[in-house]
């Protein structure tokens, strides 16, 4: 993160003051938190749905009952946990 400063000279003395970053102002808005909730939802839902769809496709091609669907759901669950962790880590870093 780049820090920005204002520099001024008063009575022969150099004064600096730190500027607030524009992204810091967005953290208080309602839409910022709605966006975060959506980001967490997509990080969980897309891998689960994708794993189920791909597993279902392989089940229909190989004529197995639900072996690949459950495997796809398991892989999707693992990916969604990793995605959820990365989103939460990014949120707490800001």
Q: Can you give the pLDDT at residue 93?
A: 78
Low-confidence ranges of the chain (pLDDT < 50): none
Pairing mode, strands 5-10 and 13-18:
antiparallel
pLDDT score recorded for residue 92: 82
Distance CA 71, CA 77 (A): 10
Burial of 48 (0-12, 13-18, 19+ CB in 10 A): middle
The pLDDT assigned to 63 comes to 86
Q: What is the pLDDT of residue 81?
A: 95
Please classify residue 55 by burial: count the beta carbons closer than 10 Å to its beta carbon, then call 0-12 exposed, 13-18 middle and 19+ buried.
buried
Give the Å distances, CA to CA, from 80 to 8, 38, 59, 61, 91. 50, 14, 22, 26, 16
Q: Of 60, 57, 54, which Cα lies nearest the Cα of 74?
A: 54
pLDDT recorded at residue 20: 60
Q: What is the pLDDT of residue 77?
A: 96
What pLDDT shows up at residue 59?
A: 93
């Amino acid at each position: 993160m780049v820090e920005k400063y204002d520099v001024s000279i008063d009575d022969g003395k150099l004064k600096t003051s730190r500027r607030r970053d524009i992204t810091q102002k967005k953290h208080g808005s309602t839409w910022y938190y709605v966006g975060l909730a959506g980001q967490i939802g997509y990080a969980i839902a897309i891998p689960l749905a994708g794993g189920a769809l791909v597993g279902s496709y392989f089940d229909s091609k190989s004529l197995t009952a639900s072996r690949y669907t459950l495997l796809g759901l398991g892989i999707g669950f693992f990916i969604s946990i990793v995605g959820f962790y990365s989103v939460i880590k990014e949120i707490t870093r800001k």
